[in-house]
Amino acid sequence: MTKPLQVVLELARILVMLVIFVTLLGWLGRNLYSSLFSWEESFNMYLTAGNFLLFFVAYRTKLQFGGWYKSQMNRRLSRPAIYILLSITAVLYLIPPAIVIYRNLTG
């Protein structure tokens, strides 16, 4: 396979995985949070941002090594980078419940 074709196939693979990953996690998160508290549409941006970060970590640590495009520049994320990104993801996932709890406490 030629290099440009490999790049196009890898980009298509990333796009398909991204859509499936973000859609499934978004659906799961909305259903879980909706059963726990009243859901607002403004919470979608926090879940979506967290899902994108989680996909980025999953892709850079595992998924990029199983695709069509092979390169010497493919490297795993460093452990500190993984911890930082997963911490940011956890904060993004916890913002909607924190907003609801804050609103309930303040009246």
- Whether 18 contacts 10, CB under 8 Å: no
Sign for the pseudo-dihedral over CA of 2, 3, 8, 11: positive
What is the reported pTM? 0.85
Per residue in 30-58, pLDDT (tens digit) is: 999 999 988 888 899 999 999 999 999 99
Six token digits for residue 47: 């879940």
Phi, psi of 15 (to 5 degrees): -60, -45
Number of domains in the chain: 1
Q: Which domain holds residue 99?
A: 3-106
Higher pLDDT, 69 or 85: 85
pLDDT for residue 93? 96
